[in-house]
Amino acid sequence: MTPKSVAVAGATGLVGRHMLQVLEERNYPVKSIKLLASERSRGKQLPFRGETLPVEVLTENSFRGIEVALFSAGGGTSKKFAPCAAHDHCVVVDNSSAWRMDPKVPLVVPEVNAKDIKWNNGIIANPNCSTIQLVVVLKPLHDAAKIERVVVSTYQAVSGAGAKALDELLAQTKAVLEGKQPECNVFPHPIAFNCIPQIPQSDAFGENGYTSEEMKMINETKKIMGDDSIRVCATTVRVPVHTGHSESVNLETEKKLSVAQAHEILSKAPGVVVLDDPAKQLYPLATEAAGKGETFVGRIREDLSHPRGLALWIVSDNLLKGAALNAVQIAELL
């Protein structure tokens, strides 16, 4: 690949820092790099390839001379600054939800729909973390047997809500163990030793009773898979895990797939690792997936309630494949 001039917007956040880490680990051909963040981060410095680089304040003129920009600075920031970058002939890979359902913007998971990158107009959307790991597993099964319906329940790590949420989990855990009342600032209820069926925590439920995170999974899955006929029902839950989203998935296919066939298909699927030997207690765990770029699948079994149903357990690092790694993979394809 030809070396590129790169910018990372939101560089000081959890995902932004992981983007820098992934760029370095995958030896992305960086000709020059600019680290961008809000006024609050003025004066901060971050390490990259043995150097300590200053963080600059993000402005409308930040992208002149930049070829690729990785954004993880929130939807409002992306709406304001991504068009500025595109206007300056920079291709933006955006991690927020701002552009995902825009029909003029491709929504890409490289293992699933890499070809959609070709029709970008300067902005490419990085999907929701929970959607990414889901479709990486669904796509090869869909190609083999056409998925008609998916029911997914998520067990999402606290790191998906940011650094302040992780601090709250730690503080609340300490408080509970000391017999004190946990204080809630980020989440509406205690997250320590608890599960909260509301993601994101700051949004109200929609009129249909679903959260915006659940609707993201429903709509994004159809767009990425390129098939609006797939019926999706999602329930998203925050659990007191540091890193690594887990998903319980039931799917119904037009053509019956046996467990053995599903194993064979998924063992050959790009970006997927099958961990499935219940007799040896081998199945995907968030603690084992953390720090790894693959999506892990196990507990593959027939759904006893449906003649053409399968049940799966899917786990992936939400900060890597669910965000930073997927964005860098898109940049590599560019």
Active-site residue numbers? 129, 245
Query: What does the alpha-carbon distance between residue 59 and residue 160 come to, in Å, rounded to a whole number?
Result: 26
Tokens of 84: 């500025």
DSSP secondary structure string, 248-287?
A: EEEEEESS---HHHHHHHHHTSTTEEE--BGGGTB---HH
Angle ∠(169,323,190) on CA atoms, nearest 5: 15
Cα separation, 182 vs 63, whole angstroms? 43
Radius of gyration of the chain (CA): 20
Q: How far apart are alpha carbons 287 and 245 in whole angstroms? A: 10
Unique residue bearing structure tokens 């196990």:
298
Q: Which helix (H) or strand (E) holds 47?
A: strand 45-48
CA distance 260 to 75: 42
Measure the CA–CA gap between 208 and 230, rounded to whole angstroms: 19
Rounded to 10 degrees, what is the CA torsion of 81, 82, 88, 91?
Answer: 150
Query: Which ranges of the chain does DSSP label H, i.e. alpha helix?
Result: 14-25, 75-87, 110-113, 129-145, 163-177, 212-225, 259-267, 286-289, 325-333
Question: In the numeric block, which tokens belong to residue 206?
Answer: 């929609």
> In 10 A of CB 308, how many CB atoms?
17
Q: Give, as one character, the DSSP assignment of residue 39.
A: G
Token pair in block for residue 312: 């799966």
